[in-house]
Amino acid sequence: MASPHSITCRYVYKNITPTYRDKHNGAAPMNRRTRILAVASIVAVIVGAIFVAFSYPQGSRQQNLALATTTSTYDSGLLDYILPTFEERHNIRVNILSKGTGESIEIAKRGDADVVLVHSRKLEEQFVEEGYGVHRIGVMYNDFIIIGPGDDPAAIAGGSNATFAFEQIAKAGAEGKTVFVSRADRSGTNMLELSIWNTVCLNPSDKNSAWYVEAAAGMGAVLRMANEKSAYTLTDRATWLSFKSQLPDLTVLVEKDQILLNPYGLVLVNPEKYPQRNFKNAVALAKFMISEEGQRLIESFRKENETLFYPIARDLRLAHTLGFPNQEYEVEWYDSQEVESSSVGQIALSSTVRDEVLLKGKFELFSLESHS
């Protein structure tokens, strides 16, 4: 069956151009007004068809963006909370590749991601220095905590000195009183854990220490394993709050040490090294996350009435303290980039935010004193 549009076109076309038979049977020629109306009808039909063709396939032409990030940003529910606003505004579907920091960076090095959001300064800076990433910027932070069994055989409950707590755990472990479960996966959490062991001149492994378990797993799996073994472990607070109800045998024992602060950096994949990646969309995501709106969304994400992540993008002093020495330059660069916001038949530039400090971090919650 012919479509309504094609029937209308044929009808209009027949009346615009009388046939030989019409002419010789005395059909009156069309007057000027009739011809104008007929032409207008054709134009309206064509424009309508173009509008339909542009509008309805728009969703099917939705662009994709690959974000390699940590298990904590995914497991906590943060990304599910903030990304729908970005996706709807820009008609971009964000595909989340949730791994540890080390593996997320390796994914990007293979050219399989457009942007990374991770939490290990050492690995992030190495990623940039080697030419894989560009424009590293601080986005947010939370903190790590040391959790363990309620009976606390290492006697560390209530402390705020992570290095002392690790010494006590190692001592209790050597005496056969307890176990420590490590992620052992080159994640940001694992990198911090290893640096704390190094601070107390220890290098435990499951080969030389029976009390030390190398899980080679994500944070959620490690938390469940620690619960089963009544063991100690290091975790970020956001993932702990997300899994807390499933971990009846564990509790928070040590927190609020400055070395347990956990900043998250966003790094774009270098477009010169990976021209096939979607650099423009990666910039759009970064701009959104460091914008006033994005930072407020991050701060408003809560579980059990606790804020899980604190914004730092516009708090330059705090960003510097947490390992982002070029923060003001990167903020200025991102703010200068123009990105497209998609809607049916309309493209608009996003607003630019240039205030130096829009949001204050909660750095004062933690002691600034270092622990030897």
Token reading at 84:
């729908």
The answer to whether residues 250 and 149 touch, using CB atoms and an 8 Å cutoff, is yes
Say if residues 367 and 256 touch (Cβ distance below 8 Å). yes
Three-state secondary structure call for residue 196: helix
pLDDT single digits (tens) 73-86:
998 999 999 999 99
The position carrying tokens 């956990």 is 262
- CA atoms in the 13 A half-sphere facing the CB of 78: 33
pTM (2 d.p.)? 0.74
- 9-64 pLDDT per residue, tens: 333 333 434 444 444 444 445 566 666 665 566 656 555 544 444 444 444 478 99
123 within 8 A of 191, measured Cβ to Cβ: yes
**Letter string b/e over residues 223-232, b meaning 16 or more CB atoms within 10 A of that residue's CB:** bbbbbebebb
**257 is written with which tokens?**
């040490």
Residues in the chain: 372
Would you give per-residue pLDDT tens digits along the chain (372 residues)? 444 444 333 333 334 344 444 444 444 455 666 666 655 666 565 555 444 444 444 444 789 999 999 989 998 999 999 999 999 999 999 999 999 999 999 999 999 999 999 999 999 999 999 999 999 999 999 999 999 999 999 999 999 999 999 999 999 999 999 999 999 999 999 999 999 999 999 999 988 899 999 999 999 999 999 999 999 999 999 999 989 999 999 999 999 999 999 999 999 999 999 999 999 999 999 999 999 999 999 999 998 889 999 999 999 999 999 999 999 999 999 999 998 765 432 323 333 333 333 343 444 444 443 333
- Please answer whether residues 348 and 339 qualify as being in contact, where contact means their C-beta atoms are separated by less than 8 angstroms: no
DSSP 142: E
Residue with structure tokens 């019409």? 22
Query: In 10 A of CB 129, how many CB atoms?
Result: 9
Rounded Cα gap, residues 13 and 372, in angstroms: 89
Cβ atoms of 357 and 314 closer than 8 Å: yes
Alpha helices in the chain (DSSP H): 4-16, 20-24, 32-55, 71-75, 78-90, 101-109, 121-129, 162-174, 188-199, 219-229, 237-243, 279-290, 292-300, 316-321, 327-336
**What is the Cβ-side half-sphere exposure of residue 106, based on CA atoms within 13 angstroms?**
9
* CB contact at 8 A, 257 and 161: yes
Residues 137-164 pLDDT 10s: 999 999 999 999 999 999 999 999 999 9
Distance CA 227, CA 221 (A): 10
